[in-house]
Amino acid sequence: MINIKEDEHLHVLNHSCAHLLAQAVKHLYPHAKFWVGPVITDGFYYDIDLGDDVLHEEDLAKIEKEMKKIVKDGKRIVRHEISKAEALEMFKDDPYKLDLIGHMDEDDTVISCYSQGDFTDLCRGPHVESVKELKHFKLLKVSGAYWKGDANNKMLQRVYGICFDTDEEVQNYLNFLEEAKKRDHKKLGRELDLFMMSEYGPGFPFFLPNGMILRNVLENYWYEEHTKEGYQFIKTPIMLSKELWELSGHWANYKENMYTTMIDDREFAIKPMNCPGGMLVYKNGLHSYKDLPLRVGELGQVHRHEASGALNGLFRVRTFTQDDAHIFMREDQIESEVVRLINFIDRVYSVFGLSYEIELSTRPEKKYIGSIEIWDKAEAALEAACHAAGKACKINPGDGAFYGPKLDFHLTDSLGRVWQCGTIQLDMNLPERFDLTYVDADGSKKRPIMLHRVIFGSIERFIGILIEHYAGAFPMWLAPQQVVIVPVHHERHLDYAKELEAMLLAKGVRVKVDGRNEKLGYRVREAQTHKIPMQIVVGDGEVENNTATVRRYGKKDSVTLGKEELLESILNEIETKARV
């Protein structure tokens, strides 16, 4: 999937089309006022104040018609440079533009705007030469959006769109959206009984039995792989005192996102992050240079207050479980430990068929702690580790956390969509704040280097990604129900079906017999609807020959196997985590 925001040509095309949208809206609704119309990863949008008029999906066709009329007229798009005073006069009737102008730096003595026919808008540009280049577009949806994203402000109307060079590209994108819609994890989560939401807990997901199987399989895999990598595991409290969060810096910088309460006249907060608890565990004992690196993992549940309008299925929730680990090490171990970690993350993602790219975020320009020398050394170590692991990394200048540089892993799913999941963050802040030390070879106390890292990121969000990546058709090892056995006739074949079920259950296979008194075709179709990886149909021939006729989800052909061959095939597929 193309990232419109990062593709230079498509970025200009879509930003120009945002202005085309605004011009058409102004023609149809002369009283309209406009906030901002940025380019986003998958197109553009414009936030509009239409007063008492409310746009509906059916109104988009009317706006598109007006946009096409403007394109046909073919006006050139012209850049103007004006003074701040001229800009204030030009947009004196639009409070949103006045706000934008008012927040510009005093150094911005020259302000740029773009005109196309009867429409002029503030903009840094660049734009295409003429509206004639904007023939191939589609308005996608309309939704509400608070001005400046603040729920205390007025609700504006946000119109989304996309623009390409050809109608074929537009149609391909619409086909992609249709496929993405079918894979929507909220829709599939309901259909496959994986999770639910309730008005009694907005943003707090409920995992249903099928979802819990999926979750437990993922978590068990996480523990198994981390055990191989030499991790120890901890569990820290979900609620800790205000003093701890003051020490960690969260109270000063993150309090508005934390849930707090009073206990015995002391203020406590539910943890939004696992790190401070991990620091206390490290301080619980003495550590020698010989103990390092110390790898400590925690599947820790955290709570963060998210705006209600931002909540989105499992992708944006108010409580989630981070697959956190904190690695404490000596400075000379940074590169080797990060190489090991990159190889570990690579192994995990490959199991799910997820490719990825790595981005190195470097020292922020202004807000950072530690010396530039330490930052340069840390950034060089992370970059060297990527190369040593045989991986390229894209530099993202100035986007590191204030406490250290980081490597972010951007995953690509089966539809080409990109998700930021894994991260390796080098922290120069918390070891100092918590006075973490180890005893070096000469007996002196030294400050350990610390890495924060996640692989899944959030268990909940990763499950949402997997639902959409697999379109709900999970590989055998992950599927809540791995096998369904369908006897052709209830009376003649049920006993043999139960015999097969018992054989598979004894080996830990998640299998059920569908012995309902329904037509065979109905039961087979239902197994397909529930996306069960394997269907086993048994009739007279199977009973007589001690065999099973196997059909895979999404396949029309079937194969007949002996019982032992069937069992070996299923267990091998589960053991190897094969993607069939």
Residues annotated as catalytic (active site), given as ranges: 275, 304, 322, 324, 326, 406, 452
Q: How far is CA 505 from CA 211, 476, 493, 531, in A?
A: 20, 15, 18, 20
DSSP β-ladder status, 78-83 and 393-396: unpaired
What would the two tokens of residue 530 be?
A: 């529930």
Q: Which helix (DSSP H) or strand (DSSP E) does residue 83 occupy?
A: strand 78-83
The structure tokens listed for 462 are 């990763």
Return phi, psi of residue 272, to 5°. -90, -15
Q: How far apart are CA 268 and CA 254, in angstroms?
A: 14
C-alpha dihedral sign at 482, 487, 491, 495: negative
Tell me the C-alpha to C-alpha distance, in Å, between residue 21 and each of 56, 137, 143, 379. 15, 10, 15, 43
What amino acid is encoded at 406 in this protein? K
Alpha-carbon distance of 301 to 424, in angstroms, equals 19
How many angstroms separate the Cα of 374 from the Cα of each of 178, 182, 366, 394, 430?
Answer: 49, 48, 15, 21, 15
415, 1 in Cβ contact below 8 A?
yes
- Cα separation, 495 vs 515, whole angstroms: 10
Q: Beta-carbon neighbour count of residue 176 at 10 Å?
A: 16
SS (H, E, C) 216-285: HHHHHHHHHHHHHCCCEECCCCCEEEHHHHHHHCHHHHHHHHCCEEEECCEEEEECCCCHHHHHHHHHCC
- Peptide bond between residue 95 and the one before it cis (omega within 30 degrees of 0): no
Q: How far is CA 95 from CA 34, 42, 47, 83, 389, in A?
A: 9, 28, 13, 18, 53
Q: Which two tokens stand for residue 150?
A: 């603040």
Name 91's bridge partners.
Answer: none
CA–CA gap between residue 422 and residue 434 (Å, rounded): 25
Q: How far is CA 531 from CA 493, 526, 577, in A?
A: 24, 9, 17
* Paired strand residues for 483: 511, 534
Instruction: Decide: 280 and 236 in contact? Cβ < 8 Å.
Output: yes
Distance CA 473, CA 542 (A): 27
DSSP-based three-state secondary structure for 97: helix
511 Cβ neighbours under 8 A, 6+ residues apart: 481, 482, 483, 484, 485, 501, 504, 505
- Write b or e for each residue in 91-103: b if 16 or more Cβ atoms lie within 10 A of its Cβ, otherwise e: beebebbeebbee
Q: How many CB atoms lie within 10 A of CB 250?
A: 20
239-241 and 266-270 strand pairing: antiparallel
